[in-house]
Amino acid sequence: MPESILSGILVCPICMSAFPSHHIPRWQQRVQSRKTRLQQFVVTAQQMQAIESRIFASGMPVAALMEKVGGLIARRIQALYPCDDRRSVVGHRISQIGVLVGPGHNGGDALVVARELFSRGYRVNVFRPLTKAKSLTQDHFQYLQSLGIPVLENGLALANQDVIVDGLFGFGLERPIEGELKTLLDHINSVSVPVVSIDIPSGLHCDTGQVLGTAIQATHTLCLGLWKSGLLQDSALDYVGQASLIDFDIPLKDIEAVLGTPDMLRITSQSALSQLPLKRPPDTHKYRQGHALLIGGSQRYAGSIVLVARGARATGVGMLSIAVPQSLKSWVVSQVPEALVIGCPETDAGAISHLPAELLLEQFDAVAYGPGVTTEASIVLQQVLESQCPLVLDADALSLLAQAESTWHHRSVPIILTPHPGEFRRLFPDFAQASLTKAEMARRAAQEVGAIVLLKGARTVIADLDGSVLVNPESTPALARGGSGDVLTGLIGGLFAQTQKSEAVGAAVWWHAQAGRFVAQAATEMGVDPMTLSEQLLPALQSILQAEASS
Ligand SMILES: NC(=O)C1=CN([C@@H]2O[C@H](COP(=O)(O)OP(=O)(O)OC[C@H]3O[C@@H](n4cnc5c(N)ncnc54)[C@H](O)[C@@H]3O)[C@@H](O)[C@H]2O)[C@@H](O)CC1
Ligand SMILES: [K+]
């Protein structure tokens, strides 16, 4: 497909779309769209079993599926760790692979992988710590022995391999790993041999991501078929390593039959880019592009409101108003010259005491309130809650909200809460339980109060009022830094003012995380300060759009 370059963006010469790929053949589009949708689904062990049962009931033999999956895993491992054929000195080639085999079908997969890699020239050593096995797994083991593939007597010898394949337990793990097995896994974790885990790192709970006794710290996790919920939990991140999906062509109809309207979805580039960049009608004017009001700042935390404003500015919002303590007004004007800055009466400590009566909140399409306001600003909270305006509440506003009466619950106009885990605990003590996943905590909170709840973390989740949850699967620890949340609040406020759609919240979270990754790549994780982050929001988005257009 020929492409022309306009202002540095790859565009289709036929219709000038930034996505020339839409002219690819229909069958290819169907395959592409299936792959895109597949990346969005998240399942529990029970749901995966139900999907698997449907496939088997439709006639797919269990052994055939295992063979197919094992072959795909072997190919991926071969690409990650090419075999040392002694003819090449390029790349990280390896010769010895140790395969840890469990009693169930995760172990069966591992045995197919072992056999395939053996046939492709790798030296393979298998270790099977538990002798009882499901019959298919046992059959594979018997065949593997007949091929002369060595079986290790002692699992500690796995530490001498170039790479370890972990096929001990998958989604069938049902109790904590103890005794000799625990010693073995702890030993594997203590040596610096790369580990590729099949489906999930052995020891992680498939649904909650909690460690049952101990768990493998994988270098790569090759998740089979559909993303398992446990891999998307903050607590799993130390174990999962680099995670990717092995698509073994599960029919969409079986996924849809089991998941129905999915109650949890991963945010993907494709889903976020269906929102971003926001489309502007050619004949638009500034008042049609949303008017956002940002309320924040105090003498003590003066800079936060500027970071919010810089986030909002990147969204292209038509009009930006900013309410700050009177004493900060001229400085904020100098930082955000395009904004209408409103000086508010302030307390002795330099916080906003109340919003001026002439400031009509109803004229705004969204109000973002909270960063830097201190916990003195409780009158302002009442004023914004009583307005008929969509609200984004963050930072100190959430601490104030935790002390407020519950009259704001199920407000008729949207309200978006953006707590980090500490703020969430103060707001929703009943739902902040270690036994619940973050998604479940956010879901219960959202339904209890009738608000969109964005619970921050390494894997931020967003719960909507209808019980659905989005999880952002890619981010960077570089964003764990004072002020980066202010930029996010601005992004949400700016996007929501223009769209009035809850999808804007997921798009903002994705954009913020991708910008963090973009800056970290150019300037290391240390370089992701909130000012730089806010400056790079648009270059990051542009770079992703270009990559998508040329792929
Ligand atoms: N879902 C799918 O569509 C597919 C799944 N496959 C594989 O099958 C796996 C699931 O297989 P299984 O259901 O057999 O489960 P697992 O292979 O995870 O293991 C279950 C076995 O381990 C035992 N076990 C559980 N916890 C234990 C513990 N703490 N200590 C000792 N033994 C313990 C159980 O009694 C059972 O025998 C997946 O993770 C995946 O690797 C693939 O083969 C093909 C397709
Ligand atoms: K595993």
Q: What is the CATH number of the domain that holds 439?
A: 3.40.1190.20
Is residue 435 domain-shared with residue 304, that is, in the same domain? yes
pLDDT band of residue 519 (cuts 50, 70, 90) is very high
**What is the pLDDT at residue 482?**
95
**What is the pLDDT at residue 2?**
36
Cα gap 279→277, rounded to integer Å: 6
Sign of the dihedral through C-alpha 8, 10, 16, 18:
negative
**What is the pLDDT at residue 89?**
43
**What is the pLDDT at residue 22?**
56
Mean pLDDT of 129-144: 97
Condensed to tens digits (0 to 9), the pLDDT of residues 29-65 reads 888 888 889 999 999 999 999 999 999 999 999 999 9
Is residue 351 domain-shared with residue 478, that is, in the same domain? yes
**What is the pLDDT at residue 551?**
80
Mean pLDDT of 424-428: 97
Strand runs labelled E in 29-184: 42-43, 96-101, 123-127, 163-167
Is residue 51 domain-shared with residue 13, that is, in the same domain? no
Number of folded domains in the chain? 3
**What is the pLDDT at residue 21?**
54
Is residue 407 domain-shared with residue 299, that is, in the same domain? yes
Specify the 3-state DSSP secondary structure of 125. Answer: strand
Contacts of 168 (CB under 8 A, 6+ apart): 100, 101, 102, 106, 107, 110, 129, 181, 185, 202, 203, 216
- Give me ligand 2 centre to Cα 197, in Å: 5
Specify the 3-state DSSP secondary structure of 85. Answer: coil
Nearest-5° angle of CA 452, CA 388, CA 333? 90
Residue 12 scores a pLDDT above 90: no
Q: Which of 261, 288, 317 is at the close of a domain?
A: 261
Residue 19 scores a pLDDT above 90: no
Q: Which of 243, 261, 279 is at the close of a domain?
A: 261
Evaluate the omega torsion of the peptide bond into residue 277 and state whether it is cis, within 30 degrees of 0. Answer: yes
H/E run at residue 228: strand 227-228
**What is the pLDDT at residue 95?**
81
Is residue 223 domain-shared with residue 368, that is, in the same domain? no
pLDDT band of residue 86 (cuts 50, 70, 90) is low
Is residue 139 domain-shared with residue 232, that is, in the same domain? yes
Is residue 190 domain-shared with residue 139, that is, in the same domain? yes
Condensed to tens digits (0 to 9), the pLDDT of residues 473-518 reads 999 999 999 999 999 999 999 999 999 999 999 999 999 999 999 9
Is residue 162 domain-shared with residue 257, that is, in the same domain? yes
**What is the pLDDT at residue 385?**
96
Ligand 1 near 140 CB (within 6 A): no
CA distances from 222 to 150, 343, 357 (A): 24, 55, 58
Ligand 1 near 205 CB (within 6 A): no
Is residue 13 domain-shared with residue 49, that is, in the same domain? no
Residue 17 scores a pLDDT above 80: no
Residue 303 — φ and ψ, nearest 5°? -75, -20
Residue 518's domain comprises: 270-550
Sign of the dihedral through C-alpha 503, 472, 253, 270:
positive
Is residue 121 domain-shared with residue 228, that is, in the same domain? yes
Is residue 16 domain-shared with residue 59, that is, in the same domain? no
Residue 418, both tokens = 């953006």
Which of ligand 1's atoms lies nearest the C-alpha of 66?
A: 43
**What is the pLDDT at residue 377?**
78
Residue 90 scores a pLDDT above 80: no
Is this prediction's ipTM beyond 0.85? yes
Q: What is the CATH number of the domain that holds 190?
A: 3.40.50.10260
The residues facing 9 across adjacent strands are 6
With a pLDDT cut of 90, the percent of the chain lying above it is 87
- Give me ligand 2 centre to Cα 97, in Å: 15
Which of ligand 1's atoms lies nearest the C-alpha of 177?
A: 29
Cα gap 452→140, rounded to integer Å: 50
**What is the pLDDT at residue 28?**
79
> Binding site residues for (6S)-NADPHX, as ranges?
105-109, 170-176, 199, 372, 420, 486
Judged by average pLDDT, the poorest of 263-272, 280-289, 338-347 is 280-289
Ligand 1 near 170 CB (within 6 A): yes
Average pLDDT, the chain: 93
**What is the pLDDT at residue 129?**
97
- Give me ligand 2 centre to Cα 397, in Å: 44
**What is the pLDDT at residue 25?**
78
Residue 208 — φ and ψ, nearest 5°? -100, -15
Mutate to test the pocket of ligand 1, among 173, 212, 223, 246 (most ligand atoms within 8 A of CB): 173
Is residue 500 domain-shared with residue 458, that is, in the same domain? yes
Mutate to test the pocket of ligand 1, among 174, 180, 210 (most ligand atoms within 8 A of CB): 174
Mean pLDDT of 259-273: 94
Cα gap 119→123, rounded to integer Å: 9
The residues facing 6 across adjacent strands are 9
Strand runs labelled E in 345-472: 366-369, 391-393, 415-417, 452-455, 461-463, 469-471
